[in-house]
């Protein structure tokens, strides 16, 4: 099984989620998304797997969210995705991909739902 985690090592929830995966005997591919942000196409695919709209995946308490007025309803999904690509700090973390599904590790145990029994 191929598992990927979009990880921020400075985030406690991200570290806990990675540890939980490892406790399950899973060695995921680790993408430090602040250093290697996903492309717009990858983000779109993740959004589909999560069943989220772009704004649902955004960290609304980040200063940049307010600075660029990303709560403006006139912004399109494409524009919001482009902002996340350019400013990956806006992307909620951690995201785990497995079995063509995605889950946010908040709480970390939530990612267990997409892993096989």
d(CA 86, CA 109): 29
50 is catalytic: no
Of residues 89, 54, 59, the one with CA closest to residue 73: 54
Q: Which of 11, 30, 85, 112 is catalytic?
A: 11
Radius of gyration of the chain (CA): 14
CA angle 110, 115, 117 (to 5 degrees): 115
Of residues 97, 98, 94, 117, the one with CA closest to residue 107: 94
Of residues 58, 54, 59, 49, the one with CA closest to residue 79: 54
| Catalytic positions, written as ranges | 11
């Amino acid at each position: 099984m191929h598992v990927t985690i979009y990880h921020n090592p400075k985030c406690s929830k991200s570290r806990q989620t990675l540890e939980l995966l490892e406790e399950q005997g899973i060695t995921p591919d680790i993408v430090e998304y602040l250093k290697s942000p996903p492309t717009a196409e990858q983000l779109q695919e993740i959004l589909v797997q999560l069943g989220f709209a772009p704004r649902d995946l955004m960290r609304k308490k980040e200063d940049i969210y307010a600075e660029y007025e990303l709560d403006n309803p006139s912004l399109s999904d494409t524009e919001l995705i482009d902002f996340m690509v350019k400013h990956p700090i806006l992307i909620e973390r951690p995201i785990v991909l497995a079995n063509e599904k995605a889950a946010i590790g908040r709480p970390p145990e939530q990612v267990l739902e997409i892993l096989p029994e």
